Amino acid sequence: MKKTFVLLALMAGLTAQAQLLINNQRTDDNPLRKLSIAEMAVKNLYVEEVDEQKLVEDAIRGMLEKLDPHSSYTTPKETKAMTEPLNGSFEGIGVQFNMVEDTLIVIQPVINGPSEKVGIVAGDRIVMVNDTAIAGVKMTKEEIMRRLRGPKGTIADLRVVRQGIKDQLTFKVKRDKIPVHSIDATYMLRPGIGYIRIGNFSATTYQEFLKSMEELYAQGMHDLVLDLQENGGGYLQAAADLANEFLDEGDLIVYTEGRRNPRREYKADGTGGFREGRVVVLVDQYTASAAEIVTGAIQDQDRGLVVGRRTYGKGLVQRPIDLPDGSMIRLTIAHYYTPSGRCIQKPYEKGDKKSYERDILNRLNSGELTSADSVHFADSLKFSTLKKHRTVYGGGGIMPDYFIPLDTTKYTKYHRELAAKSIIIQQNLRYVDQNRKALKRQYADFEAFKTQYEVPQSFIDMVMKEGEKQGVKPQDKAEVEHTLPYLRLQLKALVARDLWDMSEYFSVINEDSEAIKKALELLQ
C-alpha cells in the first residue's frame, strides 16, 4: 500500500480522467497496470507535448524488439504496403512505368487493364494527372503512384505525350482492381523442360502456378525447373498448396509447433497434378520462409533435387494481429519443421537483430557462399530423407543437394557502379523508347529476337558515355573487356523485358546462370 500511495502522490498533476483510471486500478504488481500508468504519466506530466500515437507505437516496438527477429509492428500505411503484394491486387490505372529525367514513361499497360482499354500504349509519357503536373516537377515515384492509384470506379484524367503526335492526348481512365502476379516467369528452357520462377507466395500463387503449368504442358513439358531464388516467402497455405502438386497422398509437407500452438501437420491429399515428372528446385541465400517449406518438402520426400546455396533460414510462424487503426502486430507463435524433422529457423539471440541481419554478410566472409568446402555441419545436425534415406542437414535453412558457388567476379567494380547509379536502367529505357517500333518491326516474335538480336555498340557507348558524365569510369581497358560480356547480356534481357515481359527477360538472362546449367545437366 505504501508503494501505491507514493505513486499516486507523484501522479497528482494528472487530469481527473487519468486520476480516476489509476484509482480504479488494482494495487498488485500487474505488468499491464505499470504500462498504462507509465503511458499516462508521460502523456500528462512530461515537460513537452508528446505524440501519444507515436508513444504507444514505440512501446509496442520496444516489446517486440526484445523477442525474435521476425515479430514486428507496422503502421497502417506500412501494413497496406506490405499486404498489397500478398493479396494479389491493388486499385489503380494499370500501367508498368519507369521514370526518365522526371518523366513517367509507360513500359507496358496491363493486359485488359483500364489504361489499355482506353488506348494508352507502351512509350506514352503521362505528364498530368487530374490537373496536376507530374512531369518535370521533381515529384517522387511514390507520390506519382499515389496519384495514379485510387478506389475502384474513380476516374483519373490523364494528359499524355506520344511520340509522333504534336498535341497532348487526353484519356479518362476508370480505375479498377489490378492483379499483382507472384510468378515472375514461365517458359520452356529446353524441349520437354519447363521453367517457373516464383517471386513470393501470395493469395493467388497457387492459381497462377496451375495456369503456368497448363501453358507448359501445352508446349510438351515433362520435367520442371522450379526457381525459388530470392523468394522471400509469404503465405504458409500457398506454399502447402503448391507442394501438394508434387507429392503423393499422405506425404507430410510441413508441420508447425509452438508453446501455445500444438503440432499441426500439413499433408498432401493425392490430387496433385505433377507427381511423376522430375523436379529441380533452385535456391539461394535469400530463399526464405514459405519458399523453404516447398524446398524442404520436395527434398525430404525425395521428390526432386535442390540446386544452389543454403537458404535464408526463416522458420518462425507469424500470426497477424490486426489493430483498430489498421496497424498490425505480426507475432511469432510457432516454428516450421520439414518432414524429416528439421527446424528451418537459423539460430538467433533474442533482442540482437543487428547480428541476425549480418548473417548473410558473415556467410560471405566465411566463404560459405563461394566454396562448398567452407560449409560444415555437426553430426548432431544430420537428418535422413524419408524415402531414399539420403543425408540432409538441419541447423537453419535448407542445404541444397548440389552447391553452386556465388560468382563474385561476374560484376566488375565498374559494372556495379553503373548499376548503382541506375545508369544501365535509364539508358535502356531511353534506347527502347527511341527504337521500340523499329525493333518490333525487325523481330516479329521473341524467338527471332533471342536468336538474332545483338546489342549494338552504339547502345554500349550510350551507357559508357552517361557513366563518364556521372563520374563512373573503368580503371583500365582490361576492366572494360571484363565488363562487356555480362553487360551486353543484361542489356539484351532488359530490352526483351520492355518489348515483351519478365518471362522473356529471364529467358535471356538465365542462359548465363550456373544454377540453370546444373539443373539442365541433371535433367538431360
User: How far apart are the C-alpha atoms of 350 and 338, rounded to whole Å?
Assistant: 23
Amino acid in position 69: P
Q: Which of 72, 289, 327, 503 is catalytic?
A: 289
Residue 355 is a catalytic residue: no
Query: For residue 14, which of 41, 35, 52, 36 has the smallest C-alpha distance?
Result: 41
Give pairs for 354-357: CB < 8 Å, separation 24+.
356/69, 357/69
Q: Which of 284, 300, 359, 501 is catalytic?
A: 300
Residue 300 is a catalytic residue: yes
Rounded to 5°, angle at Cα 372 from 370 and 375:
100
Q: Which three cell numbers stand for residue 189?
A: 528452357
The answer to whether the CB of 496 falls within 8 A of the CB of 508 is yes
User: How far apart are the C-alpha atoms of 503 and 212, rounded to whole Å?
Assistant: 11
User: How far apart are the C-alpha atoms of 427 and 24, rounded to whole Å?
Assistant: 67
Q: Which three cell numbers stand for residue 392?
A: 540432409
The pair phi, psi for residue 215, each rounded to 5°, is -60, -45
Q: Which three cell numbers stand for residue 185?
A: 516467369
The answer to whether the CB of 74 falls within 8 A of the CB of 330 is yes
DSSP character at residue 398: -
The residues near 471 (Cβ < 8 Å, ≥ 6 apart) are: none
Q: Which three cell numbers stand for residue 203?
A: 493469395
Q: What are the helix (H) ranges across 1-140? A: 2-10, 16-24, 31-45, 52-65, 76-87, 114-118
Residue 177 is a catalytic residue: no
Which single residue is written with the C-alpha cell 549480418? 358
User: How far apart are the C-alpha atoms of 39 and 242, rounded to whole Å?
Assistant: 46
Q: Which of 314, 327, 503, 507 is catalytic?
A: 314
The residues near 49 (Cβ < 8 Å, ≥ 6 apart) are: none
Catalytic residues, by residue number, are: 289, 300, 314
